[in-house]
Amino acid sequence: MDATTKASILHEMIRRMGAGGANITTSDWLDFVQAQNDDYKTGPAIGEKVPQFALADQNGQTRTLNDLMGTNGLLLVFSRSADW
């Protein structure tokens, strides 16, 4: 899928969902999913060091990789949203 097609599918789906979702077909949905999955990237390879970070947690406290690290390691999960 080229970038313009993806952009148009992604905009259109949200527009239709916002309008109540009446005109969405199964094939629209599958295109919407595919447009997001296309050419997915997975980041640092096994054996590579991860970037350092410092981000606020749900209590407003800044956490870094070192703060979060356990004795045996850290499971870091990236999820798409906690908002929707």
Partner 1 sequence: MLQRFAQAYGIEYPMLSDVGSKVIREFGILNTNIPADHPMLYGIPFPGDYLISPDGVVRDKLFLSNYEHRPSASQISMRNGADAKANSVELTTDVLSATISLSTDRCFPGQEVGVGLVVRIKPDWHVYGEPLPKSYQSTAVQFEGPLVDEFSFEMPPAKSMLLKAVNETLPVYEGEIRATGKLGIKWSPPIPAKFLEPLGPPIEPGLHHLEGTFRFQACSDQLCQPPQTVRFKLPLKIEKGIPAPPKKSG
Cβ 19 to partner 1 shortest distance, Å? 13
CA distances from 42 to 45, 70, 84 (A): 8, 23, 22
7 touching partner 1, by CB under 8 A: yes
Token couple for 1:
């899928």
Cβ 27 to partner 1 shortest distance, Å? 8
Cβ 68 to partner 1 shortest distance, Å? 6
d(CA 32, CA 42): 20
What 3-state class would DSSP assign to 65? helix
Site string for partner 1, 15-54 (x = CB under 8 A): ------x--xxx-xx---x-xxxxxxxxxxxxxxxxxxx-
